[in-house]
Every structure is written in C-alpha cells, then in structure tokens.
Amino acid sequence: MRPMPTLSEKEPTKDTNEPGRRRWWYTHGRIRSAYYQLNKLVQDNQLFTHLEPELLTKTNQAIPRTTNYVEGGINSQLGTKLKLHRGMSEDHQRRLVEWYLYGRTEDPKPTRKFL
C-alpha cells in the first residue's frame, strides 16, 4: 500500500523563465482540491446530513441518502417533456416546467381554479 501523498508537496514548473508566472505547482493538485472541497462541505454541514439524528426527530421521516429520486423521477421526466416540446419559446418552456413542478407539490389546487 502506498503512503498518502502530502498535500503541501510542490514541484517546479518546466518553464521557469517567464516573468510573473508561478514557478511551482502542487504535486498532487487534484487530490488537494478534492480534499479541501470535501472538508468545506463537512464543515458547512452539507455532507452526510442523513446521519444526523436530530433531523429525523424534527421531520419524523428518514432522510434519503441519495438524490436518485430527483434525478430519475423528476429531472429525467422534465427533460423528456422539454425534448418533446422543443419548438416552444423559452418563456413557454419555463411555464411548462413551473406547471409540471407545481403539479408534483404536496397539495396542489385543482386545475379548474386556475382556468
């Protein structure tokens, strides 16, 4: 097993003659970026929220671990509707999305009240 790379390791650039250019890069820049992004999400309480017991007591429901329902249940259907009606103007497409999402709310009013 290889040891974990140090996030502060630096290496010189190949072209160090250009004035005003940085003369080094982080050796593991992508790992460093991923580490700091995940660290920030954890600090902001935006990651692993389904594990917090106080959220379960507030809502009396289990919080889903993934957003698969949103991706496959709502967004894909919206994408299909927009593809089928791609001749609509942008304003009409926006109204189609708003109407579709409104119909999926918990307690939508009957259609006859709007027409």
Instruction: Encode the chain in three state secondary structure.
Output: CCCCCCCCCEEECCCCCCCCCCCEEECCHHHHHHHHHHHHHHHCCCCCHHHCHHHHHHHCCCCCCCCHHHHHHHHHHHHHHHHHCCCCCHHHHHHHHHHHHHHCCCCCCCHHHCC
Residue 22, token pair as written in the block:
């940085």
At residue 1, the pLDDT reads: 46
Contact 24, 12 (CB under 8 A): yes
pLDDT tens, position by position, 16-45 = 666 767 777 778 888 889 989 998 988 887
Given a contact cutoff of 8 angstroms between Cβ atoms, the answer to whether 65 and 78 are in contact is no
pTM score over 0.95: no
pLDDT digits (tens, 9 = 90+) for 58-109: 667 666 666 666 667 788 888 889 999 889 999 999 999 988 888 888 887 7
Contact criterion met (CB below 8 Å) for 103 and 74: no
**For the chain, how long is the longest CA-to-CA vector?**
73
